[in-house]
C-alpha cells in the first residue's frame, strides 16, 4: 500500500462505525441484562424476538412494533445495522399491526425527519 492508497477519511469513518456498533451492542446487552434482573418479561420477550416477532405470543403486538421500528431505522442508518433484518414476512407483520401494506410509504413519512440524522458521537451512557 502506498501513501496514495491510504484514505484517512475512509479509515476514520470505519473506526467511527466500529465504535458506534460497539456502543449499540453494549447497550442492547445491558438492556437484556436489566430486563432479566428486573423480571420485566415483556422487555425480555421483545429483545429476544424482535427480529422474528411471530415467534412471540404473549407480547406479540409490542414485539411487532419494535420489529417495524428496528427495520425502519436499519434502512435509514444502514451503516449501523448489526445484522440484516428479515423482511420476508413484512406484509404479514404489518397486517398483524392492522397496518395496510399499501400504506407503508405513508407510515415511513410519519417518522419525523430528525430521527434519521446521524449523531456526532456514539451514546455510551444510559
How do residues 70-114 score in pLDDT, each as one tens digit? Answer: 888 777 765 555 667 888 899 999 999 998 999 988 888 887 777
Question: How many other CB atoms are there within 10 angstroms of residue 63's CB atom?
Answer: 26
Domain range summary for the chain, segments of one domain joined by + = 7-115
**CA 5 from centroid of its chain's CA atoms:** 34
Residue listed under C-alpha cell 451503516: 79
First to last CA, the chain: 41
How do residues 60-69 score in pLDDT, each as one tens digit? Answer: 999 999 888 8
DSSP 123: -
φ, ψ of residue 53 to 5 degrees: the values are -60, -25
Amino acid at each position: 500500500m502506498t501513501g496514495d492508497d491510504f484514505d484517512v477519511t475512509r479509515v476514520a469513518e470505519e473506526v467511527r462505525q466500529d465504535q458506534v456498533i460497539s456502543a449499540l451492542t453494549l447497550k442492547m446487552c445491558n438492556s437484556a441484562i436489566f430486563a432479566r434482573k428486573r423480571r420485566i418479561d415483556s422487555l425480555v420477550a421483545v429483545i429476544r424476538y424482535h427480529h422474528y416477532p411471530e415467534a412471540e405470543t404473549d407480547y406479540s403486538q409490542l414485539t411487532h412494533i419494535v420489529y417495524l421500528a428496528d427495520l425502519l431505522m436499519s434502512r435509514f442508518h444502514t451503516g449501523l445495522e448489526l445484522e440484516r433484518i428479515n423482511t420476508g414476512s413484512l406484509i404479514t407483520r404489518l397486517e398483524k399491526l392492522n397496518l395496510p401494506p399499501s400504506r407503508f410509504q405513508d407510515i415511513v413519512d410519519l417518522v419525523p425527519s430528525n430521527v434519521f440524522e446521524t449523531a456526532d458521537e456514539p451514546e455510551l451512557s444510559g
